[in-house]
Amino acid sequence: MSGLEGPEKLAYMANQIARYFAAQPGEGAAQAACDHLKSFWTPAMRRTITAHKGSVALSEVAAAAVALLPEAADKGAA
């Protein structure tokens, strides 16, 4: 993992979190991963992953979790 920095490292971390919650049924995995990001990531981390979600490799669950973050809604309203 030593070459990962910035958005790429956050994507790696988000994918790990999403993989942990992937067994949740239906939309539960994305919501659980989003809840984890809201609880344990700093606002700056959440803003960074939201700003770069289209340019970093996110799993389906991780991308759905990022889309549920309040920062994603704020960005859409701007």
pLDDT given at position 77: 45
Distances (CA, A) of 46 to 25, 26, 42, 75: 24, 23, 6, 12
Alpha-carbon distance of 4 to 35, in angstroms, equals: 24
pLDDT given at position 25: 84
Distances (CA, A) of 39 to 4, 22, 36: 23, 18, 5
Domain that includes residue 39, residue range: 6-77
Per the listing, tokens 């809201």 go with 38
Are 77 and 42 contacting, i.e. CB atoms less than 8 angstroms apart?
no
Domain count, the chain: 1
Assigned domain for 1 exists:
no
pTM: 0.85
- Which residues does the chain have with pLDDT short of 70? 1-4, 75-78
